Amino acid sequence: MLIDSHCHLDRLVDVAAALGEAREAGVGGMVTIGTRLSQAAIQIGLTGYDTPELRVWCAIGTHPDHAHEEPLATAERIAELTTPSHVIGIGESGLDYFHGGEDVRDIQIASFRAHITAARLTGLPLVIHARQADDDVMAILRDEHERNGAFPFLLHCFASGTALAETAIELGGYISFSGLLTFPKCDEIRAVARQMPRERLLVETDSPFLAPVPKRGKPNMPGYVAYTAARLAAERSIEPQALADLTTANFFRLFRRAA
């Protein structure tokens, strides 16, 4: 069984069809991820598709691209919204300096820290988005650990350098690989995937974005996590089934409420 640890079901045209295709591809669970805290109810509503054969969980939070468009929520408010049992994570939150100019960086940082505190309050893992902001993400992670203690987290859709990956592992974090792992020009990401401890690896789609080879140019679907998993297995020189078992065990170790 595979688990798509990060998708956006609210962005798919036909959720029911996508879930059917995912089951056929051997996917047994997925997490639909929030991008606006004000729309947390949408993510929670999508967990209504949950069945014993295909589990559907969610995370709630505000993506850094939307941090300046949403009211800055307190950690306590974020934590309050995690009460439903199908909410198994917080996020996605983090820093994105590709889309966000210097005028919104302070807001992104404040939102990121609020989500970190909420993860610490609830014990739920924080799903972290990091794009062209490695240095600041590393600095904040270290500062939060040193000042306030550890919290569970996942670097999703890993697209950063080795330094951020090593920092995450040092601080107890996990790393999830997406379809980027299959892209021809992503040698550095594949190198990181080969080096990371096996007990910290997850897979995802980030659907409908970043469809893996051989589905490039099409909307990504949760079932396509099988292509990413196959490539990760090849990079790690293990059998696909062993990789599926490994990443699923890692998922449940991190997302404890899902167990």
Q: In this predicted model, what pLDDT tens digit does every residue of 99-124 receive, in sequence order?
A: 877 889 999 999 999 999 999 999 99
Structure tokens at 250: 């890692």
pLDDT at 101: 79
pLDDT at 173: 98
Strands 27-33 and 2-7: parallel
pLDDT at 5: 98
Confidence band for 76, pLDDT divided at 50, 70 and 90: very high
What is the distance between the alpha carbons of residues 188 and 194, in angstroms, rounded to a whole number?
10
Rounded to an integer, the average pLDDT of 163-170 is: 98
pLDDT at 102: 85
Strand order across the beta sheet in which 2-7 lies: 2-7, 27-33, 55-60, 87-96, 126-131, 153-155, 174-177, 201-203
pLDDT at 35: 98
pLDDT at 174: 98
Q: Is the pLDDT of residue 81 over 80?
A: yes
Closest to 190 (Cα-Cα) out of 181, 199, 200: 181
Local structure of 82: helix, strand or coil: coil
State residue 196 phi and psi, 5-degree precision.
-70, 150
Confidence band for 26, pLDDT divided at 50, 70 and 90: very high
pLDDT at 184: 97
Residue with tokens 């059998």: 239
Contact 57, 28 (CB under 8 A): no
Q: Cite the DSSP H helix spans in the chain.
A: 15-24, 40-46, 75-80, 105-122, 134-148, 162-170, 187-195, 225-236, 240-254
pLDDT at 40: 98
Q: Which residues pair with 93 in a beta bridge?
A: 128
Cis check: omega of the bond before 92, within 30 degrees of 0: yes
What is the distance between the alpha carbons of residues 18 and 76, in angstroms, rounded to a whole number?
34
Rounded to an integer, the average pLDDT of 234-253 is: 98
pLDDT at 28: 98
Written as one letter, the residue type at 100 is G
Q: What is the pLDDT of residues 211-240, one digit of tens each?
A: 999 999 999 999 999 999 999 999 999 999
Confidence band for 194, pLDDT divided at 50, 70 and 90: very high
**Mean per-residue pLDDT of the chain:** 97
pLDDT at 99: 85
Contact 189, 210 (CB under 8 A): no
